[in-house]
Amino acid sequence: MFNKDKKKLYIGLDFSGDNAMISFTTDSLDNPSTLSITPGREEFSIPLYMCYQKEEKRFSYGDEALRFSRAGLGELYDKILSRACKGQKAFVDGEAYEYTRLLARFIKRLVRMCETMMPDHTAGQLVLTVETLTLNVIETFDKVIELLEIPDLRVHIMDHRECFYYYALSQPVELSQNNIALFEYENEILKGMTLKRLQKSYPQLVDIEERDFGNIAYAPDDCFSDAITQMFGKDIYSAAYLVGDGFSEGWMKESLKLLCRGRRAFQGQNLYSKGASYAARISGGAVKWGYVYMGLHTMKFNVSIKVNDGGNTSFLTLVSAGGRWFESSGNCQVILDGENAVDFWIHLPDRRDAKIENFLLRGLPERENKTTRIDIMAKPVSDHEVRLIIKDLGFGEIAPSSGKVWEALVSV
């Protein structure tokens, strides 16, 4: 049970390749901590392995799972996330077990470990992050979230870009007042990201540009120097962050000098999980946040309806621009007063005017006025399209429902 007396824990869980990394913070901690599986050492990566020990009827996780499996004490389950995304099933103790269930157990275990680290805290917000969010990943995480069954835990999903945005803008002002760079070097491929913000607006609009510098393994120092020159140009950068195993091989010489000229540079492995942890704290409303990130998965427009709310006319926003589209569904119930139609107001955040989509409820039975209750669901299917679903609920015994459902897709 969620204990209201306990303080909230904000957790970020990063899935990179076949490993997970988990960071957590609280309302009082300045910086997130990352869970190390080996106490006293900075071993943050947790392999996505699980092992079921039949005799003890329990699961083990990460490296421990690998050890138990190698010792012949149980069956090993690997690549849990990718298998869950493919909808695969495993056999656990002779029973078919979906990988989504295994993934949910894995996540739950990590969340509980964070709670153990902070005994007077309970998990309040969790952010799951992967490099790229596809519809398949989103749907898999949605299933996993349903299986988590942790009371009062709110879960969000975001990509690495967004975690970078939360991480970079949570740093002290001297590290975030100008452009911010991130380089990721993994599997011999170098990628770069530049975070820019429109400082004159409030909230400040943030944009992230991404570049792919390709394989640089043949001359990493030279290639990285070129990449820095290309990306920075004449712009001012306050900070640069280096992530990925490729940077840990000690080849940076000239490129490092170039990188640190006029700015501070940081190298680490847990930027995304820490960024996710910051994002969890900000999503929980614990921090005043003056930025809006218009990323790939950011909903691009608002969908509203005009309602009579206890005698006052007001706009009810069903889908808000600025949120992650797959988390932006809105639902309400209204009673038709007058025409059998609903007007949807489609509004871009940077425009004053709105487009009005009139939705006629054809085939609705004739009824007395104000005896038709309808359910309106606005569900984004991408960052620029929203599916509208209207159901006739009728009016109890006074006007039974026709069971009719109307659907439409709106976009800008």
Partner 1 sequence: MSLVLCKCRSAEQPFYIRSGKLNIYSLEELLFYAAGAVFIDRDDFMNADFTGWIRKNLENAELADELDKKLKSKAPLVDFFKPIEEASGYLSEVQAGKLNLSLNKFDHMSPLELGKRLADDFLSKGMLKKAILTYKKLLSDVGDTRTSSASVVGDIMHNQGVAYARFFDFHEAYNCFVAAYRSNHRVESLNEAVDCAVLAEDNSLLKELNTLFKTSYEHIEKEVKRASSIHTASLMEARKNADQPFDDINEKYLVACED
Q: Is 306 in the site for partner 1 (CB under 8 A)?
A: yes
Pick from 285, 277, 292: nearest CA to 129: 277
CA 30 to chain centre: 22
Handedness of CA 195, 42, 277, 187 (dihedral sign): positive
Q: Measure the CA–CA gap between 174 and 214, rounded to whole angstroms.
A: 31
Q: Is 252 in the site for partner 1 (CB under 8 A)?
A: no
Q: Is 343 in the site for partner 1 (CB under 8 A)?
A: yes
Give whichever of 187 and 308 is closer to partner 1, judged by the CB atom: 308
Q: Of the listed pieces 118-126, 204-212, 235-243, 395-403, which binds partner 1 according to CB under 8 A?
A: 395-403
Q: Is 331 in the site for partner 1 (CB under 8 A)?
A: no
Give whichever of 170 and 304 is closer to partner 1, judged by the CB atom: 304
Kindly tell me which residue out of 40, 94, 250, 338 binds partner 1, with binding defined by CB under 8 A.
Answer: 338
Least separation in angstroms between CB 300 and partner 1: 25
Q: Measure the CA–CA gap between 77 and 87, rounded to whole angstroms.
A: 14
Kindly tell me which residue out of 212, 311, 352, 366 binds partner 1, with binding defined by CB under 8 A.
Answer: 311
Which residue has 């209201």 as its token pair? 4
Q: Is 148 in the site for partner 1 (CB under 8 A)?
A: no
Name the amino acid, one letter, at 291.
Y
Q: Is 303 in the site for partner 1 (CB under 8 A)?
A: no
Give the E-state strand segments of 84-229 in sequence order: 89-92, 95-98, 121-130, 154-159, 179-186, 189-198, 204-215
Q: How many residues sit in the footprint of partner 1 (CB under 8 A)?
A: 28
Least separation in angstroms between CB 398 and partner 1: 6
Q: Is 308 in the site for partner 1 (CB under 8 A)?
A: yes
Kindly tell me which residue out of 1, 96, 173, 398 binds partner 1, with binding defined by CB under 8 A.
Answer: 398
Pick from 115, 140, 116: nearest CA to 128: 140
Q: Measure the CA–CA gap between 55 and 263, rounded to whole angstroms.
A: 56
Binding site for partner 1 (CB under 8 A): 305-311, 313, 316, 332-339, 341-343, 370-371, 373, 393, 395-398
